[in-house]
């Protein structure tokens, strides 16, 4: 009796030691600072799961009971790194942190109810009768789900009837959304405002430039979008958004454990024998009359699908080539993944869902290409007052702060105005490297050159990203070229490599060769109505240095002025 009374006195203490669970869902304020993928230069952001990361600070209000409690932060970023989480504002700090990665899913429910009882509901499609029976999950979710009923052990959804499992509750071990849980203690019940700061993977950002070339070909209206990407399933509403330009030193994080599978992989394998199916009779096809069987081998390799003579085969192949690979005889046929199909099977095929689109009565063709991109912006881009990201210094890095609150939506991208330089001045230059030279004319590469300075209409840091250049022809704005822009500080040279020009061509000719020297000549033709400046890149040792020679990253650069609708030549001598 005394042991029983002692146990009753200890029960409240044991229950109190287990602690209470407090769930925090709502976020009153959030700030998101996105860092670019450290392994990506100026290329496109990775689709699906971006390779950058973000620093997220959330402000939440919680109510803690007296004593020990488990505090669960829901709606955190999917790529949260739990080792980086910092929580301020708690009365006694944090005793333990846990990243709960098991989310509610079909596979997660099966795993949580393993060896537990569920309800199986089956519907007879003929009568509509619904039957329910109790079952115990024996194995799963990987490789199929086995359940035990009163009739024995069977595989889920292999009975031939529509069926589903009904669970009595949602297990405490599963979360509806990404969750960070901690253990804390308070000496009294209170309501506190805390800040949760953590780093998360699955974010990235890039600058996307749009250049509109003026009619004179020397001025450009340069506009840049700040594009941020969130690859997770969690949105951040009314966030204070910032991005960091540059590459801060960051070491790779330890790879997180693989998340549990979310989908069920159910497969049914028939366990039958030939005695359970009726015998199938095969009808022998009649031998075609007048067939020269000496032209066929024992297995009829010369006749795919049926016997035919060599003359008939050649006729069929000519008709197939004339019809682009489709059957062309008197029979009406279509082509599906390279096989011939008679007309009798067409109706059955068209009644089924197919990954291809029927574009004519006789052929199935691939689906049409995606819609073209939207038209480019106008000559000048109007930006609402207070809607352009502002640049600030962050040590040797640059911080771009979006002045208004924005929503960083889940699994999506957002664009905010970043740079507006309406009169950036560039010089058009044509360039060729003698390493790829030949004695027949070939087009020269053309590029735009400038200096990132205020005198050239720039003078602002240019983050890495892609640039699309548009020019107006006959009143229509057309894409003239694309290039990637590296991180450029103020004062650095800017070069945009935009393509090749068929109007400006060059050829390389060897004039003379001795034991210690080689003399070469470059001939350039200009079919444009304006003079052009060309550069010949020579990545070799020169015996003599002509006037105007410059040293560039690819080698010596020899300038050449070519008149409009004219030609020009330049010679150089190499050491052997």
pLDDT tens per residue, range 509-568: 999 888 888 999 999 999 999 999 999 999 988 888 888 888 888 889 999 999 999 999
pLDDT at 241: 96
pLDDT (0 to 100) of residue 362: 35
| Domains in the chain, number | 2
Please tell me the distance from the alpha carbon of residue 196 to that of residue 179, in angstroms, as a whole number: 12
Phi, psi for residue 84 in degrees, rounded to 5: -100, -5
pLDDT tens digits for range 317-349: 777 666 554 444 433 333 333 344 444 444 444
Residue 554 is part of which domain span?
A: 426-575
In a domain, 288, yes or no: no
Nearest Cα residue to 155 out of 268, 51, 265, 248 = 268
- Residue that wins the pLDDT comparison between 342 and 433: 433
In a domain, 176, yes or no: no
Q: Is residue 32 part of a domain?
A: no
Is position 294 within any domain? no
Half-sphere exposure of 404 (CA within 13 A, CB side): 11
Q: Give the single-character DSSP code of 106.
A: H
Q: What does the DSSP 8-state code read for residue 128? A: -
The dihedral region occupied by 238, where left means phi > 0, alpha psi between -120 and 50, and beta the remainder, is left
9-to-6, 244, 369 alpha-carbon distances in Å: 5, 58, 75
pLDDT at 370 over 60: no
Q: What is the pLDDT of residues 389-424, one digit of tens each?
A: 888 888 889 999 999 999 999 999 999 999 999 999
Task: Judge whether 497 lies within some domain.
Answer: yes
- CA separation for the pair 201, 151 (Å, rounded): 49
The token pair that represents 23 in the structure block: 């769930």
Last residue in a domain, options 121, 136, 166: 166
% of residues, the chain, pLDDT over 70: 74
| DSSP code string of 192-211 | EEEEEEEEEEEEEEEEEEEE
The CA angle 176-177-178, to the nearest 5 degrees, is 140
**Cβ neighbours of residue 281 closer than 8 Å, sequence gap 6 or more:** none
Going by DSSP bridges, is the β-strand pair 152-155/146-149 parallel, antiparallel, or unpaired? antiparallel
Q: How far apart are CA 365 and CA 275, in angstroms?
A: 42
Give mean pLDDT, residues 285-291.
55
Confidence of residue 271 (pLDDT cuts 50, 70, 90): low
Are 389 and 398 in contact, with CB atoms under 8 Å apart? no
Q: Is the dihedral of CA 164, 168, 172, 177 positive or negative?
A: positive
Q: 459 in the Ramachandran plot: left (φ > 0), alpha (ψ -120 to 50) or beta?
A: left
Q: Give per-residue pLDDT as tens, 449-479.
A: 999 999 999 999 999 999 999 998 888 999 9
Domain limit, last residue, from 149, 166, 183: 166
In a domain, 268, yes or no: no
pLDDT at 216: 83
Whether the predicted pLDDT of 292 surpasses 70: no
The stretch 27-56 carries a mean pLDDT of 90
Residue 242 within any structural domain of the chain: no
Q: Are 240 and 120 in contact (CB under 8 A)?
A: no
CA dist 523 and 511 (Å) reads 12
Which residue, among 234, 178, 244, has the nearest Cα to 408 in the 3D structure?
Answer: 234
Is 503 within a domain?
yes
Alpha-carbon distances, residue 461 vs 207, 229, 429, 496 (angstroms)? 11, 21, 23, 16
More confident residue, 115 or 363: 115
pTM of the model: 0.68
Residue 263 has pLDDT above 80, yes or no: no
DSSP assignment of 270-339 equals ----GGGSPPPPPPPPPPPTT--GGGS-TT-TTSSSS---HHHHHHHHHHHHHTTTS--SSS-EEEETTE
* Chain position carrying tokens 């240095």: 545
pLDDT tens for each residue of 131-170: 888 988 888 777 678 888 888 888 887 877 788 888 888 7
- Which of 117, 147, 166 delimits the end of a domain? 166
Closest CA to 78 of 200, 196, 182, 181: 200
CB atoms closer than 10 angstroms to residue 180: 22
């Amino acid at each position: 009796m005394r042991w029983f009374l002692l146990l009753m006195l200890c029960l409240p203490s044991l229950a109190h030691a287990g602690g209470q669970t407090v769930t925090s869902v709502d976020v009153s304020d959030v700030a998101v600072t996105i860092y670019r993928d450290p392994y990506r230069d100026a290329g496109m952001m990775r689709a699906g799961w971006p390779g950058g990361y973000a620093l997220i600070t959330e402000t939440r209000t919680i109510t803690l009971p007296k004593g020990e409690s488990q505090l669960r932060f829901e709606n955190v970023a999917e790529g949260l790194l739990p080792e980086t989480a910092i929580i301020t504002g708690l009365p006694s700090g944090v005793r333990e942190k846990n990243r709960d990665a098991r989310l509610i899913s079909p596979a997660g429910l099966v795993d949580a109810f393993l060896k537990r009882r569920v309800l199986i509901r089956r519907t007879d499609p003929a009568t509509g009768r619904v039957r329910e029976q109790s079952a115990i999950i024996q194995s799963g979710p990987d490789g199929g789900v086995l359940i035990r009923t009163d009739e024995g052990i069977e595989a889920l959804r292999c009975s031939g009837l529509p069926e589903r499992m009904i669970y009595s509750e949602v297990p405490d071990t599963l979360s509806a959304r990404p969750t960070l849980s901690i253990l804390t203690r308070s000496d009294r019940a209170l309501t506190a405002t805390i800040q949760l700061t953590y780093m998360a993977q699955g974010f990235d950002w890039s600058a996307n430039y749009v250049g509109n070339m003026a009619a004179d070909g020397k001025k450009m209206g340069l506009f840049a979008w700040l594009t941020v990407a969130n690859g997770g399933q969690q949105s951040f509403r009314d966030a204070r958004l910032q991005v960091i330009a540059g590459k801060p030193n960051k070491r790779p994080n330890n790879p997180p454990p693989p998340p549990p599978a979310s989908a069920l992989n159910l497969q049914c394998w028939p366990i039958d024998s030939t005695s359970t199916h009726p015998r199938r009779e095969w009808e022998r096809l009649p031998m075609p009359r007048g067939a020269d069987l000496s032209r066929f081998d024992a297995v009829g390799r010369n006749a795919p699908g049926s016997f035919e003579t060599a003359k008939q085969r050649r006729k069929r192949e000519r008709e197939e080539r004339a019809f682009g690979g489709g059957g062309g005889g008197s029979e009406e046929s279509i082509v599906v993944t390279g096989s011939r199909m008679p007309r009798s099977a067409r109706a059955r095929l068209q009644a089924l869902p197919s990954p291809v689109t029927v574009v004519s009565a006789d052929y199935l063709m691939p689906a049409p290409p995606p819609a073209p991109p939207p038209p480019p912006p106008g000559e000048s881009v109007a930006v609402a007052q207070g809607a352009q990201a502002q640049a600030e210094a962050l040590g040797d890095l640059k911080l771009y702060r979006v002045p208004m609150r924005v929503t960083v939506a889940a699994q999506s991208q957002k664009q905010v105005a970043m740079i507006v330089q309406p009169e950036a001045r560039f010089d058009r230059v044509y360039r060729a490297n003698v390493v790829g030279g030949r004695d027949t004319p070939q087009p020269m590469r053309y590029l735009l050159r400038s200096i990132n300075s205020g005198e050239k209409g720039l003078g602002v840091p240019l983050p890495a990203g892609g640039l699309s250049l548009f020019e107006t022809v006959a009143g229509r704005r057309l894409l003239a070229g694309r290039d990637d822009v590296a991180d450029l500080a103020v004062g650095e040279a800017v070069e945009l490599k935009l393509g090749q020009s068929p109007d400006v061509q060059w050829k390389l000719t060897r004039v003379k060769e001795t034991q210690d020297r080689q003399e070469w000549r470059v001939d350039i033709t200009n079919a444009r109505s304006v003079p052009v400046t060309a550069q010949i890149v020579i990545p070799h040792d020169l015996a003599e240095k002509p006037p105007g020679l410059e040293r560039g990253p690819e080698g010596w650069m020899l300038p050449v002025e070519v008149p409009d609708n004219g030609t020009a030549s330049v010679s150089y001598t190499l050491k052997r």
